[in-house]
């Protein structure tokens, strides 16, 4: 099996040795002490030069591997000659926001009045194409347009990074190198097949491309030639963009004729710890009611309470799960669903969000995880991310304390844990 070695570890000692030689000389030592800022700048420039040299050696090894995988020499030259290490990509890959963004703040931006109005305009401009894809794939036209809006703001912001440079940098120096290496190879196959020229393959720093923000492996699996020109062009062809989006959702299990879900009211005494799926009939027997329109008929549905018992509640079915296949975040799926509703002229979320709740920082979440572990509610590693294990551990803690077990982390709950685990 082909192995690609990281050269960065080989060269950093050489850099340290060379800098040490400078620092121990009498003259240079005095200069360093007198002008530490200058030495820091020299150190940074030297590190960048060494990093770039190592990257080029790594790239040559990867190029040999790509050739062994059948990528043509013409494509390798077109795609990899002149590819640069992009330090900005690594900065973005390493960035972790201080605060965990509340879902209502995300939705305020993702489903803003501007995005709704633009979505309606784009729907009107491309109605025939959107309806054609709805007919072909069974995915509602407003959902196709909605994903376009959420992913790239209707094509106005799909990124200007070279996908090849971004993925090469991540494969060499990122947090998920093996994953990025596989995506870089997929990108080369896309170019080799003639779907897009190397210089036109643009997208985000993370390698997500074009209007749909497909990563290369998703492009290979789901991209469709919607306009019949023989190429799958998610950068410049709106028919290809819409066909590819609809195909993705159809393959993810979209059920034609069903809604994504509905906003619901929950009865007094509802057990918020229920995370399993049930039929609509079973949920109705518990007293759940739709706030708008008819109660959907799902064979398998879940109650979602993204802001806990004090926020809106939703009954979601298979189509919500299909959206999650595009991006596995409840906030994302809810944004796509509600933006689609708004584009189609349906009403928005009626219940209020708990906007008075102070946001937790990543450090707060990490502390909450550590304290849950300490008092016997095993949640796994303390990574500062509110994943399913953390929510379940928090529900168990809430239930034992006689609280509503909704799994929603707050500053108040963190204070209770502090008092328990001191």
CB 280 within 8 A of CB 315: yes
CB 188 within 8 A of CB 207: no
What are the start-end ranges of the H helices in 327-380? Answer: 330-343, 362-374
Query: Which residues touch 361 (CB under 8 Å, ≥6 apart)?
Result: 98, 99, 100
The pLDDT value given to residue 3: 35
The pLDDT value given to residue 52: 56
Nearest partner of 164 among 274, 63, 260, 291, judged by Cα: 63
> Tell me: the pLDDT tens digits for 151-209?
999 999 999 999 999 999 999 999 999 999 999 999 999 999 999 999 999 999 999 99
The pLDDT value given to residue 10: 38
3-state secondary structure of 214: strand
The pLDDT value given to residue 47: 46
The pLDDT value given to residue 275: 87
DSSP E strand boundaries for 278-376: 289-290, 302-304, 313-316
The pLDDT value given to residue 51: 55
Q: What is the CA radius of gyration of the chain?
A: 26
CB 59 within 8 A of CB 8: no
Using CA atoms of 149, 153, 159, 164 in order, give the dihedral in degrees to the nearest 10: 10
The pLDDT value given to residue 229: 97
> Tell me: the pLDDT tens digits for 368-412?
999 999 999 999 999 999 999 999 999 999 999 999 999 999 999
The pLDDT value given to residue 359: 87
C-alpha separations of 193 from 201, 224, 231, 374 in Å = 13, 14, 9, 54
Q: Which DSSP string do the residues of 225-278 spell out, in sequence order? A: -SSSSSS--TTT-HHHHHHHHHHHHHHTT--TT--SEEEEE--TT--TT--S-B
Question: How far is Cα 408 from Cα 416, in angstroms, rounded to an integer?
Answer: 14
Helices and strands of the chain, counted as H and E runs: 19, 6
This prediction has a pTM of: 0.85
Q: What is the mean pLDDT of each run of 10 residues along the chain (422 residues)?
A: 37 34 36 44 48 84 97 98 96 84 95 98 98 98 98 96 98 96 98 97 97 98 98 98 98 98 97 94 97 95 96 98 96 98 97 94 95 94 92 96 95 93 70
């Amino acid at each position: 099996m082909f192995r690609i070695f990281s050269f960065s570890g080989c060269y950093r000692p050489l850099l340290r040795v060379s800098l040490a030689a400078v620092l121990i000389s009498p003259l240079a030592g005095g200069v360093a002490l007198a002008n530490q800022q200058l030495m820091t700048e020299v150190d940074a420039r030297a590190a960048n030069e060494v990093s770039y040299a190592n990257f080029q050696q790594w790239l040559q090894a990867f190029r040999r591997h790509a050739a062994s995988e059948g990528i043509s020499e013409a494509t390798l030259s077109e795609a990899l000659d002149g590819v640069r290490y992009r330090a900005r990509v690594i900065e973005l890959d390493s960035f972790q926001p201080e605060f965990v963004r509340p879902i209502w703040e995300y939705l305020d931006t993702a489903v803003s009045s501007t995005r709704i109005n633009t979505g309606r305009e784009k729907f009107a401009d491309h109605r025939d194409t959107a309806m054609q894809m709805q007919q072909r794939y069974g995915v509602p036209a407003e959902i196709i347009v909605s994903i376009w809006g959420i992913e790239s703001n209707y094509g106005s912001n799909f990124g200007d990074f070279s996908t090849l440079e971004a993925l090469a940098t991540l494969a060499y120096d990122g947090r998920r190198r093996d994953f990025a290496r596989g995506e870089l190879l997929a990108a080369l196959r896309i170019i080799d097949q003639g779907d897009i020229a190397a210089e036109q393959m643009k997208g985000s720093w993370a390698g997500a491309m074009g209007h749909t923000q497909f990563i290369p492996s998703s492009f290979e699996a789901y991209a469709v030639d919607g306009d019949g020109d023989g190429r799958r062009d998610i950068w410049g062809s709106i028919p290809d963009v819409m066909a590819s989006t609809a195909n993705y959702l159809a393959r993810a299990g979209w059920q034609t004729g069903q809604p994504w879900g509905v906003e619901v009211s929950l009865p007094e005494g509802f057990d918020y710890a229920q995370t399993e799926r049930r039929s609509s009939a079973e949920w109705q027997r518990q007293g759940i009611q739709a706030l708008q329109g008819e109660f959907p008929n799902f064979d398998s549905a879940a109650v979602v309470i993204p802001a806990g018992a004090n926020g809106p509640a939703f009954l979601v079915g298979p189509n919500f799960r299909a959206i999650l296949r595009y991006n596995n975040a409840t906030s994302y799926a809810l944004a796509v669903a509600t933006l689609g509703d708004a584009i189609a002229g349906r009403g928005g979320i009626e219940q209020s969000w708990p906007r008075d709740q102070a946001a937790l920082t990543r450090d707060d979440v990490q502390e909450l995880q550590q304290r849950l572990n300490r008092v016997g509610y095993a949640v796994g590693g303390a990574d500062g991310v509110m994943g399913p294990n953390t929510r379940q551990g928090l529900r168990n803690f809430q239930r034992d304390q006689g609280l509503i077990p909704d799994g929603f982390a707050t500053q108040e709950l963190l204070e209770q844990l502090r008092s328990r685990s001191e």
